[in-house]
Structures are given as structure tokens and as C-alpha cells.
Chains A and B, each alone.
Chain A
């Protein structure tokens, strides 16, 4: 800092650099704190009026776009369809800050899997649906009616359903697999995959131990299944626990067999005919994603119209042809045949239309209490290493 510099500064025009910095700093901080003030003043606000709109947040790749367009055209409802429901637990964590405080979220309809839907209902995050406004609800498959956590079918209608069973690569196993016990065959050591979805993995083992899934209410009832799973992990029988990515391991030959979802296997078989899917003789789990009306939504009327629309077998068949999951709607098979061509072949698929005898082997979990579910999740997390 020389004297010369000082004089040159004092002679500078009114806005020196220093002054400019001070001022812009002030303006900057003002800009940062202003929104905070505004939001603090605003309070809750923003209650949505009952407009003729509907917002459905669903899983990715789970809808036929034509159906969305047709529904909009026929009803005149301004229908928003998004695919941001990616994971049951993540979605729960995302909406909890709002719903736990009694505020509502943007979507009117969400698509949690049945056990998560049970949790939403328990927590009072869902509202009853006017079932009288949905005449087509009569088409709901019998085995999906009145689950223990929604005895009177007041809160939800299933959207799509699927089965968890065993998938195997016949070229590696060299034999047919039939039972859950086959997953514990030492011949397949280090080549067995299991799902990170606790209810499917533990459910299959529990059924093999002769436990009825819908009757499970406490952890102690299933402790034996967890022990069996942990023992298999410890001696290296199980190679890894995966989400949807088990499909790569199965077709690449890393897994000889794994717990898998029927819909995925249908897609894999198209590329690799060696991949087989079987509902174990001890039983497979049946899962379904629901359509749930969020507490605080003003669009129950529109939601009912939507559900009625896709419970019409004609529309349900169009969705099935695209997403290739098992439809919860009776009469879809006949509609698929009517569509003709390649689509009609789907009507013959045993993975899309399991026989009555196979359906009889399917079971699904009842609702677990908050504390019991925590025990299940914690034990399962220790086993999968997380």
C-alpha cells in the first residue's frame, strides 16, 4: 500500500470499488433473506380449490399413454400423470415432512405397494374413496378383495399386481427347480440371489417353513425364516441382495437362481429362453400396487372417475398389453383376445394369467404394527449387511 495508491483512491469517482462491494453485498443479503421473510409471513396458505383436475403419481414405465389421452378426452378432466414414484421407502421419506404436519401433497393419487398403502392408511394419510361412484369396481379380482388392512375396500383399488417366486437359469442349474429349498442347495453355493424387498424374500422362506403370511403379526413368528436366511448368507450360499438389477445377474449367468418378480421374467424370456419362472410349491407372494387417495386432496370425484375408467376391462386390457403385469381386473383376458395379433398371444401367457391352481398358492402379508415392522426391517438390514 503506497501513498500514491491512496491518493488515487481518494480522487476516484463517487462509486469506488470498495463502496460497490459493500453495496452489492447488502443487496445480495437482502435478496437472500427476503424470500425467508415472505415465506414466514405467508404461513400455510395455498389450499387448492376443487377444480376439475387430477394428479396421479405412479411408478415409471407403468402406463399406456393412449389410455391417459383417451381418459382426458372422454371426461374433460385436466389429468396430470407423472412417474416419480420410484421407491416405496424413498417416497415415504419424501412426503413425510408435509403429511406428518397435516399438510397435503400435490398428487391426488399415489401408487404405494400394498404394505406401504397399509402404513399410509394407519397413519391417516389416505382418505376414503366413494366406491358407489365406481361401478366397475365389481370387476376387481376376488383374491384381491378385502385385505386385512382395508377390510371393507374403502381406501384403495389395486393398480397392477405381480408375483414373487423363483427364477432360474436352466442352462446353469441343469434341472428344474420347484421348491424354495432348491435355493439352499449347496450345489448353487455363491450363485443365489435374493431381493432387497423384505416381504418377498422372507415371505418365500417363511411359507417354506409352513407359516401363513396373512397371519404374521409379530417378529417371533418368523424368526426361524430370518435365521435360515442369515445362515445362508454367512456360509456364502447367497451371492448378493439386489433390487431390479437381479435381471442382469440372472441373464449373465452370475445367478443360477434367485427370488424374482414375474413381470421381469416375462421380459427376460424374450431374450433368453433358458430363464424360467416358477411359483414354488410351498407358495409364492402376491404383491400389488394400489391407487390411494391422499388425505387433503380435493379431487375425490375425479379420482373415482379415473378408477372406474381403468377398471373397465377394455381399458385395463390396453394397459396390460403395454405394461405386461398381471391385471387386477376380471375380463382382461377376453379383451386381449379381441385385440388380436401379437397382443392376443399375451392371453396365453401363464405369467400374465396364472391358473386358478397357481393363484391358490399365492399369499400376501397382512399389516404389521409400527414397532413390529421396525423389528423386521432392522433384522433384515443386518442380514443384507446395511
Chain B
């Protein structure tokens, strides 16, 4: 009993406030250093101060005894993740926000000054509206196509794969052994005017319907919107198959049997039992395809034409050729904002409330 009393006597008041306070201070301090608000001697002082703050937590933990340690623990566990986010997510994002509201005195001015330049956002939205439109349109089309192609594949692997399951899954991932760029460039030769695909289409006489569907343009597939969407679909297909497979694999086949026992048809069993249970996979797959596809510039560059460029191409051009960092930052932020908003809407719609 005496041991417990002595612990109580050493208890520090409100240790959880110490934990929270230090977490917040260190977080803000790290952001300040990484975003270069404070540089040189100031940064050194701040860094030393942050170390001291952390030492004070340890001191609190030691002196405060068990209760203090218990109260501090959640903050200790939060610390690695939170500080990582501060340093590598919030600080860069803040720098980008600051840059997007800055203006340059001249083209080669490397350090644009912060001037609340809202014009950057206006320019991003007006001058690059077609590119934004194409990015989201192409990404949405690619997402639907990957879903249409990927769902049956995942279904077959999960339910009919048998002992070949692992092999089939491995085959889905095989394209990743080759570089993304090489895979895209390979499509150039497959789709070229004298390539195998256009040749087959010619032989089958499918030119006219494909032209009518606007998939072909003047007898060619390369450098059309269809080629860009096709490239995106091909490149991101595994990101759709794998999550759907994971959620389908967990579905107990007996549930389908049970549905059939209750006089449901095969399609009813699928629609009302299997499909709803695979929705988390569909949701994850859609995000994994849509988000990178909207920001992609490789497919538009190698398979597209001047009329099919996406926002990624424009951002790259603004950063590297025009050296217009403020405008490029504004464009990136608009892209992020639209993607975040559409993901939230989508999450609401899909009923996955953990995200929204």
C-alpha cells in the first residue's frame, strides 16, 4: 500500500496537457522550419527549443510515475505519425499554398513574393479549364472501364480460380515488372497506323462504326482521346482488380447457396448478396484508379495529340518550361481540391462513412 501512495505523491498535474502541448508545439515548430518561415539562427533556436520540449515530456513521464505515463501514452503514440505528417505533408502543402498566392517580379525571379495573388487561381481555372475538364473526364471514363473489365476478372479469380488463384493474381501484377513508361510507349507501336490493331480493324471492316463512335479519327487510333483513355485504363487496371478481389475473396460461398435456397435466381443472389459485399473493394479500387489517372500526364503525352492534353501536362509545362511556380502551384491546388471534393461526394454516395 505504501508504494502506491508514494506514486500518488509524485503525480504531476494534468500530464495529458503536457503531452498535447508538446505535440502541438513540436508539430508547429517542424512546420515552421520545413516551410522556411524561420531560417538560419532562428531555426536553430527553434530546433533546440523543440528538443527541450521533448525532454520535458520524458522528464514528466519519469517524475510523474505510472499515472503520468499512462496519461501521456496516447500522445506518445500519436507523435510519430503526427510529426511525420507535419514535416512531410502539412509543411509542403503550406509552402504550395503560399507559393500559389505569390507573384514573380520577373520570369527568372526564383523567390516569388507573397502578395495575395488570387489571380493565379483565376488564371488556373479560366486558361486551363479544357485541360481540367479532360483530366476529370478521361479519369472518370478510365475508372468506369477498369471497373467493367476488372470486376469480372476479380470475380472469376476469387470464385472460379481454384488452385490457380495465386498464379492468376500474380499474372495481374506481372505488367508492373516493366516500367510504366515502356508499357505506355509499347502501345504506340500496337496502335500505330500500320500496326496490328488498326490492320485487324481494317480487315474486319469495323472502320465506319468506330469512326461513328469517335473512337477512330480519320482511320487512326493513335493520338486520339480513345488512345489516351485506353492507355489510362490499361495502366491502372490492376489497381481496380486487386482491391475488388480482396473483398470478394472474403465473401462466403455458402451465402450464395443460402440465397438460392431462399429461391433467389443467380443474378438476384449476385445483385443482393455478393455485389453489396464487394462494394468496399469497388470503392477502394475506384479511388486508386481515379486519383492517379486525373493527375497523369504520361498517357496524354505519348498516346495523345495537342487536343488531348491533361492538366498534368500543363502543370509540368508551367513548372519546368514557363518557370511559373505560382501558377503551377495554384493549378496543383485546384486539382487537389477537386479530387478531394469528388472523393467526399463519392464516399457519401457509396455510404462509406469512415472517409466522409
Contacts and interface: CB of A to CB of B under 8 A. Distances in A.
A383 B54 contact: no
Interface in A235-276: 236, 238-241, 245, 248-249, 252-254
Nearest to B44: A40
A370 B107 contact: yes
A371 interface: yes
B33 A36 contact: yes
A28 interface: yes
B157 to A, nearest CB: 35
Contacts, number: 144
Given A97-B110, A190-B220, A385-B313, A22 B305 contact: no
A33 interface: yes
B36 to A, nearest CB: 11
B77 A21 contact: yes
Given A90-B320, A240-B223, A373-B107, A252 B48 contact: no
Nearest to A92: B323
Interface string B165-198: 0000000000000000000010011001111000
A187 interface: no
A30 B47 contact: no
Interface string B33-66: 1000001110110011011001101100100001
Nearest to A98: B110
Interface stretch (A74-82, A294-302, A315-323, A374-382): A374-382
Given A18-B69, A36-B43, A241 B106 contact: no
| Chain B: number of interface residues, binned into ranges | 35 or more
Interface residues of A, number: 55
Nearest to B325: A93
B280 interface: no
Nearest to B302: A245
Interface in A7-30: 10, 16, 18-19, 21-23, 25-26, 28-30
A254 B54 contact: no
Interface in A51-109: 87, 89-90, 92-93, 96-97, 100-101
Given A22-B58, A371-B107, A386-B317, A37 B48 contact: yes
A30 to B, nearest CB: 6
B193 A385 contact: no
Contacts of B316: 386
Interface string B311-337: 001101101111100000000000000
Given A18-B73, A93-B319, A381-B321, 4 more contacts: A18-B70, A25-B77, A190-B217, A239-B222
The 3 closest A-B pairs by CB, nearest first: A386-B317, A385-B309, A385-B306
8 contacts: A18-B73, A40-B44, A92-B323, A96-B110, A240-B306, A253-B193, A385-B306, A385-B309
